[in-house]
A and B are shown apart, each in its own frame.
Chain A
Amino acid sequence: MPDDSFASARAGKPAGFAALVRLHQSLVYGIALRMLMDRALAEDLSQEVFLQLHQNIRAIESHEHLAFWLRRVTAHRAIDRLRQNRRIETIALEDDAEIFAATPDDDPLLRKHLHGLILQLAPVARAVVLLRYQEDLDPVEIARTLEIPVNTVKSHLKRSLSALREKLSGVACVSL
């Protein structure tokens, strides 16, 4: 029960904290993995985020606050990490099926273009796309999470989608 685990974690009980980690690990790891495009780095960053949560759990007021806090801290840490080491972005993964969820009707070409698009995006733009499509946040919520203007969020979304459409339409022409 999320409510129990939250109260339990705040009370300093390891079982409560463990339940919170299990509940939110895919949120944190998903953002970290798609930002850093490297499993080991994503794992490391995700652990750091939960470590920081453990140290600050008493400052978290509610479940909603917790989700907001996790998204914000994960995104900011990933952005800082990317800015410090741009080389992370050029590591191409041989198997990107984990990063972009494979489905029964999976399109490997789409996955490849998505991978390429994400790699091309600057750190903040990348975070905007992830918060929109992985976390289903609206532009106002994204702006609050990343502490940037709403118009900047909309601009990043527009450009990123435009670039992806362009890549996909190019492929469609070739396949004819």
Chain B
Amino acid sequence: MSEDLDNTLRKALRRVDPGEDFTARVLARVAAEARSESSGDMRSANRSVSRLVWLPVALAASLVLAVVVTYEWQARRERAGLEARDQVIEALRVTSEKLDLAYQIVNSPPPSRTPDDAGA
């Protein structure tokens, strides 16, 4: 049964092709990202000249670093929170499983008595 189930699952969960145009859509998106980055680069190149007038480079770098670190910390915190949530659900599942086990033992039919047992 176990092997049948394994084979059945493998058949049912074979890889799924997204279709002929998928590759084209990916390439289009790659191209769009590349265009977006290069236009962003040009705009920032123009702005950096004026920025140098207003803001020391070191201060700008520190601000960027602070933003990145804060983002990283928040992302880590979120991952930890989501992991804790999954663990709560897993713990409740195990608890329920064992309560179910107790119930099954209590409600399982008693062993049948053979004629030899009658006098025991």
Show the binding face of A for B, using Cβ within 8 Å. 14, 17-18, 21-22, 25-27, 29-30, 33-34, 42-43, 46-47, 50-51, 54, 83, 98-101, 103, 107, 110-111, 114, 122-124, 129-130, 133-134, 136, 159, 161, 164-165, 168
Closest Cβ of chain A: how far from B81's Cβ, in Å?
9
CA distance A70 to B64 in the complex (A): 30
Which residues on A sit within 8 Å (CB–CB) of B18? 25-26, 29, 42-43, 46
User: Is B25 among interface residues, defined by CB-CB distance under 8 A?
Assistant: yes
Measured as residues with beta carbon below 8 angstroms from the partner, the interface class of chain B is: 20 to 34
Given A47-B25, A123-B86, are A110 and B8 neighbors across the interface (CB < 8 Å)? yes
B101 to chain A, nearest CB (A): 13
Instruction: Give the residue name and chain of the A residue nearest to B26 (CB).
Output: A50
**Please, which residues of chain A bring their CB within 8 A of the CB of B52?**
none
Which of B17, B26, B86 has the most chain A CB atoms inside 10 A of its CB?
A: B26
B: residues with CB less than 8 A from A are: 1-2, 5-6, 8-18, 22-23, 25-27, 29-30, 33, 82, 85-86, 89-90, 93
- A134: contacting residue among B15, B22, B23, B29, CB under 8 A: B15
Are B22's CB and A46's CB within 8 A?
yes
Chain B interface, >50% SS class: helix
A4 vs B82: C-alpha distance when bound (angstroms) = 41
